[in-house]
Each structure stands twice: as structure tokens, then as C-alpha cells.
Amino acid sequence: MIDKHIIAFGGDGFVADPQNKLSAHFILGLTGKAHPQVCFLPTATGDAATYTESFHERYSDDICESSHLNLFFREVKDLRGFLLAEDVIYVGGGNTANMLAVWRVHGVDKILREAYEKGIVLCGTSAGSLCWFECGVTDSFGLDLAPLFDGLGFISGSNCPHYDSEALRQPQYHKFIMEGLPGGYAADDGAALHFVNGSLLEAISSKPNARAFRVEKSGNEVTETKLAVRFLGN
């Protein structure tokens, strides 16, 4: 059976710290290839060129062959053929709801399901973390955080990125779970959740002391279970 990998980052930091390639080496190592092909999807920022440039700096030619796929100004005719030829597909941050809508218009959601079943490593940060789950916490709908219920659903339950860097993330996630949002996983910036075949294998980090949690409703309260996190710098 082909193992199906998803790595969901609470915040990967390749804009602020492009030279920290710990997470990149971890992801590329999952492919088992010496010089894998990696494609970046910057849809959630409207295909912002500067964001894409930061990604290419992190995933530079010395460790892989990187490309990107724009959907607002399409340059690729055969989206399916393009994406299914990759070893890794990395989804950037931004507006999750808008990204999912654009993907569905172009059929990228279905292609990503094919990629997942094929064993192509799927990963991403922020919106690129939340999208793989059924639901989660987003700022896609305005200035306030809100629940999002129409993720791709490759992973059961909910997700909350940026757990340490945005003060309202933790209390709002708890509030939404109390109101009926399914329990799930939260990750700090620098931490990531590595799922294999839909189940959590481990939490990793490219930043010392970054945390990850299982968060769920228990009776009349929400409980957090801190997960063991393996720092990739050791």
C-alpha cells in the first residue's frame, strides 16, 4: 500500500526565515528521491509573486526542482498532468475560503485527491494546513476569526494554525468547539502535524519550543493535550 503523507504547519516561516530549511529537508526526505520535484500553490494570496519568490528561496535548486502553479493568471493548460507529475505539492497561506473556491472552479480539489491517493506528499502552512481538514478556524471571512466547514476533508476533524502567534486563536478555537465544531489539532508557528494515511504519526518543528495540541470537547469543557514535538534541528 502506498503511504499518503500530509504535513500541516501552524506557520512555516519561509518568508521571515528563508534560510531555515529544516522543514524543507524533512518534507523532501519523505519522497525518497535525491532531487525531488516540488510545486507551490500560492492561490490563497491571489498568486502573489513576492510570496512565490520566498518559497523558491526556501526550496532552492540545491535541494530540489521547484515550480509553482498560478490559477489567477494561468500558464499551464493541463493542470492534472502538471500536478500529478510532482513529488511534493506545497500550499501557501492566505485566504482559505477564497482558495478553496478557486480550486473547485478549476477542479484542483479533485486533482489534489488524486495526488493524495497516488502518494504525492501534500503539505502547507496556515491556509495550506487548514485546507486538508474537514473544518477549522480561519480569518477568511473578515476581521474576526470564524469557523470554516468546507475543507477538503482528507483528514478528519478540525485544525487551528498560528496557535501561539495570534492571541485570539486559542480562545476562539475553544469557543467554536464548545459550539459544535469537531475537535482536532492546533499548532504553533514553527510546528507541524505529520499525518500518514489519515492518522497523526508525529508532530515536528523547525523552531525550538514550538508546540502542538490535540484539542477536543470533554463534557462541559474543552481540553488540550500537549503533543510530543520532535525538533528537526537535533
Query: For residue range 104-119, what is the model confidence (pLDDT) as tens digits?
Result: 999 999 999 999 999 9
Contact present, 10 and 212 (Cβ < 8 Å): yes
pLDDT recorded at residue 85: 98
* Catalytic residue list contains 165: no
| Residue range 21-44: mean pLDDT, rounded | 97
pLDDT in tens, 58-85: 999 999 999 999 999 999 999 999 999 9
- CATH 3.40.190.10 for domain 5-231, yes or no, is no
Residue of 54, 68, 140, 162 marked active site: 162
Quick one: pLDDT band at residue 170, thresholds 50, 70, 90? very high
Q: For the chain, what are the domain ranges?
A: 5-231
Closest C-alpha among 50, 141, 138, 36 to residue 90: 36
In the predicted model, what is the mean pLDDT of the chain? 97
CA distances from 37 to 83, 156, 175 (A): 10, 28, 40
| Residue recorded with cell 471571512 | 141
Quick one: pLDDT band at residue 18, thresholds 50, 70, 90? confident
Number of residues that make up the chain: 234
* Catalytic residue list contains 60: no
